[in-house]
Amino acid sequence: MLLPLLLPVLSALASAVEVKRPRGVSLTNHHFYEESKPFTCLDGSSTIAFEWVNDDYCDCQDGSDEPGTSACPNGRFHCTNAGYRPQYIPSSRVNDGVCDCCDATDEYNSGFVCENTCKEMGRKEREALAQMAEVAREGFQLKQVLIEEASKGREDKQRSLAELQEGKKSLEEQVETLRSVKEAAEKPEKEAKEIHQKKWEEQKAAEKAAREQARASEAFQELDDDGDGLVSVAELQTHVELDVDGDGTLSETEAQTLLGNALQADASSFRDAVWAAIKENYKPEGLPDAAPLPEAPREEAPEPQPDLPLEQPAPEDDYDEEEEEEGDDDESNEEEPKVPPAKQPSDKTAEEDEAEKMPPYDEATQALIDAAQKAREQFEEAEKSLKEMEDSIQYVYRLCPFNRVSQKPKHGGAETNLGTWGSWAGPDENKFSVMKYEHGTGCWQGPNRSTTVKLTCGKETVVTSTTEPSRCEYLMELVTPAACQEPRDPGAADHDEL
């Protein structure tokens, strides 16, 4: 006989759940545990007195006699987890001082107090599940679309591949054709522009000469103090600013030199010879000495480029720029023809402004220019598409499904192969959940790089993380609708329709 002292209280029977069952037994299994009968281990290996069920001693090899204690190494404990998901935990977690079941039932005799967190967890899980279901549903729909698209796309792609190859060829031809068109268009443009330019310059020179004449006459009038129609040495000497040797005075000899080694000059010789020698330093009378003549320096400054607005960079330049600043080219292309003229000095007289502004092109010239511009744009367009076609896309970090994974340093440098497509490597039940890319660039003193890509269902296809758990072995998380399974509960979808 065993003394009751040695038997633990079968506290399991005091379980509060409506259905009376030993601690750690699930509802579905409770019929195996009948208080009135001896207990047969679930594997049938032996039969024991019911008092030995949950008595904290392992009698069954399969652990089925101790569902509510930690006595059996291979047993399992059922937590009801009302409000959350019911769950089995290994017997080794019963009374181990760590809260495993959210209903806290696993720690009934360890001295540790666990809180019942099932309600909270249930709420969170429902939220998460709802979200996931939504993702799965949408993802699956997307997947269907993808599949459809893919089968269509496959044909399309094959077709378009041929087309594109054809297209590329024709594009190349087109580029060539357009290049000659452009060159043909540019030739008359250039000629017309040159003519226009030349005319403009001649006109400008004439105007300038006239202006000079006027100023010379004005100066002559001023200098000819005695009004004798001649500028004498003495008269010139009153303008000390004309001092040649920098001693502050205009000596007689200096004045004579300025007058062309003569003692005086008449109006015409002044205009033709003397004015040229003195105009640089000459200050009209009645103006303060310090104030420089606005015209004087400007006359010598480089001529403002009246044709600047129309100056076109060489097509080659255009092309270079495009290479350097991809993405900006549209903008710059648009703006180039509209570059405003260089700002005119504000103190310039209006007439001069008017005079220096080039008149608009005549219609014919403008038409030629427009034609050339159009040809240029077409040419660039064609060049760009050709380039895009030929170029591989630049990236920093890249996964090409079924091809390879690669990595490129952010700040430039050689690309590293993290593996080429190997095989599906998921567990047997879900083989297509993991991709394996192998035989990447070798590591120093290590293996060849390889990448494992884990696929999870999502609304769009995106790589959510990349890590390197051990040297040269990468792990990518790829979210994609392609990984979505048909939602298991069609009721949810029905529910939406209600």
Partner 1 sequence: MASERLGMAALAWMALCLAAAFAVDRSNFKTCEQSSFCKRQRSVKPGSSPYRALLESLQLSQDSMKLQLVNEVNKVPLLLELYGLQGNMTRIKINELSPLRPRYEVPDVLVHDPPTTWLAVTGRDENSVELSLGDSGHKLILTGKPFRMDLLQGRELVLSVNPRGLLHFEHLRHRKDSFSDKVSSSVGSLWDKIKSLFYREEPKESAPEDGAAGEETEPALPGDQESSEKSTKSEEVSDGPNRAEEELGSWEETFKTHTDSKPNGPTSVGLDFSLPGFEHVYGIPEHADNLRLRTTEGGDPYRLYNLDVFQYELYNPMALYGSVPLLLAHNTQRTLGIFWLNAAETWVDISSNTAGKTLFGKMLDYMQGGGETPQTDVRWMSESGIIDVFLLLGPAPTDVFRQYTALTGTQALPPLFAMAYHQSRWNYNDEEDVAAVDDGFDTHDIPCDVIWLDIEHTDGKRYFTWDPNKFPQPRNMLGRLAAKRRKMVSIVDPHIKVDSGYRVHNEIRSRGFYVKTKDGSDYEGWCWPGSSGYPDFTNPEMRAWWASMFSYDQYEASMENLYVWNDMNEPSVFNGPEVTMYKDALHEGGWEHRDLHNLYGFYVQMATAQGLEQRSGGLERPFVLSRAFFAGSQRYGAVWTGDNAAEWDHLKISIPMCLSLALAGISFCGADVGGFFKSPDAELLVRWYQVGAYQPFYRAHAHLDTVRREPWLFGEENKALIRAAVRQRYALLPYWYTTFYHSYRSGQPVMRPLWVEYPDDVTTFSIDDQFLIGNALLVHPVTEQGAHGVQVYLPGKGEVWYDVHSHQKHHAPQTLYVPVIMSSIPAYQRGGSIVPRKERVRRSSDCMYRDPYTLYVALSPQGTAEGDLFIDDGHTYNFESKAQYLHRHFSFASNTLTARSADSKGVFESPAWIERVVILGAGKPAAVFLRQPGMADTRLDFQHEPETSVLTLRKPGINIGADWSISLR
**Nearest approach, Cβ of residue 16 and partner 1 (Å):** 24
Q: How far is the CB of 85 from partner 1 (least distance, A)?
A: 17
Q: How far is the CB of 446 from partner 1 (least distance, A)?
A: 5
CB atoms within 10 A of CB 121: 16
Q: Tell me the closest approach of the beta carbon of residue 93 to partner 1, in angstroms.
A: 7
Q: One symbol per residue from 108 to 147: x for binding partner 1 (CB under 8 A), - otherwise; what is it?
A: --xx------------------------------------
Using the rule CB under 8 A, give the single segment among 200-208, 290-298, 389-397, 467-475 that binds partner 1: 467-475
Q: Given the rule CB under 8 A, which of 19-27, 88-96, 146-154, 326-334 is the region that contacts partner 1?
A: 88-96
The CB-side HSE value for 23 (13 A sphere, CA atoms) comes to 23
Q: Is 394 in the site for partner 1 (CB under 8 A)?
A: no
Alpha-carbon distance of 487 to 47, in angstroms, equals 45
Nearer to partner 1, 112 or 397 (CB): 112
Counting Cα atoms < 13 Å in the Cβ hemisphere of 241 gives 15
Compare residues 96 and 295 and give the one whose CB is closer to partner 1.
Answer: 96
Asked whether position 337 contacts partner 1 by CB under 8 A, the answer is: no
Q: Could you give the CA distance from residue 433 to residue 452 in angstroms, rounded to a whole number?
A: 10
Closer CB to partner 1, 95 or 406, in the complex: 95
* Contact map string, positions 51 to 80, toward partner 1, x by CB under 8 A: ----xxx------------xx-x-------
Q: Are strands 404-407 and 416-424 parallel, antiparallel or unpaired?
A: antiparallel
Do the Cβ atoms of 83 and 97 come closer than 8 Å?
no
The reply to whether 468 sits near partner 1 by the rule CB under 8 A is yes
**Site size for partner 1 (CB under 8 A):** 32
Q: Does 410 bind partner 1 (CB under 8 A)?
A: no
Q: Judged by CB under 8 A, does residue 92 bind partner 1?
A: yes
What is the bridge-based pairing of β-strands 76-79 and 434-438?
unpaired
Backbone angles phi, psi at 408, to 5 degrees: -130, 130
Shortest gap between Cβ of 25 and partner 1 (angstroms)? Answer: 20
Query: Are 215 and 279 spatial neighbours (Cβ–Cβ below 8 Å)?
Result: yes
Q: Which is nearer to partner 1, 99 or 310 (CB)?
A: 99
346 binds partner 1 (CB under 8 A): no
Is 97 a binding residue for partner 1 by CB under 8 A? The answer is: yes
Q: Which residues bind partner 1 (CB under 8 A)?
A: 1-3, 5-6, 55-57, 70-71, 73, 90, 92-93, 95-99, 110-111, 443, 445-447, 467-473
